[in-house]
Amino acid sequence: FSCREMPSNQTPTEEIALSEAFKKKYTYFAVSIDSNGYVKSIAYRESNHPSLRSLGELITEVPEEFLRFKRLKKLKLYQNQLTSLPDFIQEFDSLEVLDFHDNPIDELPEWVGRLKHLKYLDLSKTNIKTLPKSLTSLKHLEVIYFDHTPIKGFPKELFSFKSTLQELYVDELEELPEEISDFKKLKLIGGKIHSFKHLDKIPQLEVIYINDSKAKNFPADFGPIHHLSNLHLYDCKYLTKLPLTLGKGKHLGSRY
């Protein structure tokens, strides 16, 4: 079937029929329907599955038929061979989750700022070098991952999410900005961070994932992280000890 042959305001019954036709044509996508009968989620099936790899079903472009599902809330296209995102994604007015990690995509388009309901954005393991200015238009963004990308440091666009951001994965960062204390809802932070300075200033921090850090120690005045429950330090080979003040959470665990 062709998306150009069908009206955009289909009833739930029509949309279910469309989704069934879609699943038959694209067997490597998982489609979820909400309680009203509309498609709410499309996800590429785990592409590390041997049968998918052997069939060569890695996609290089997003099928135009996606456009038929106007009420789509989740779009997960990870672990493929996409080099760009099609412009029609901006027409998903209700989209909350956009996950295209592990694709050779070079650019995050400016139209991402039009996805007014977007809460979750994963662009890790891509070739994206910068965050577009339009990203700051998003008022509900809670999660953004850009580890294993050419994006270095702490992009200024992130300061627009002080009141909403809950999870953040950076790529390579020498030191967190002092203003990280203004991120009142941030619960998880991760990435290749080369200094532990200011980590103790994040008021609601619960989970830390730091890898390949060059840091040798924690600051002498490092205070307790009262809500910390999980600490993961991977290949931080220069670090010799953890401060006694690090965390007071009764479920605190660590790995380094």
Q: Please count the structural domains in the chain.
A: 2
From the first residue on, what is the mean pLDDT of each consecutive set of 10 residues in the chain (256 residues)? 48 85 88 92 72 64 90 95 95 97 97 98 98 98 98 97 99 97 98 97 96 94 91 93 71 54
Q: Are 131 and 37 contained in the same domain?
A: yes
Q: Are 186 and 256 contained in the same domain?
A: yes
Q: Global pTM?
A: 0.89
Question: Where residue 121 sits, what CATH number does that domain have?
Answer: 3.80.10.10
Flag whether 157 is in a domain: no
In the prediction, which pLDDT does 12 show?
A: 80
In the prediction, which pLDDT does 2 show?
A: 39
Residue 139 sits in which domain range?
1-151
Flag whether 156 is in a domain: no
In the prediction, which pLDDT does 3 show?
A: 43
Q: Which residues of 75-110 are buried (b: 16+ CB within 10 A; e: fewer)?
A: bbbbbbebeebeeebbbbeebbbbbbbbbebeebbe
The count of C-alpha atoms lying within 13 angstroms of the C-alpha of 177, restricted to the half-sphere facing its C-beta, is 12
Q: Are 242 and 128 contained in the same domain?
A: no
Flag whether 179 is in a domain: yes
In the prediction, which pLDDT does 7 show?
A: 44
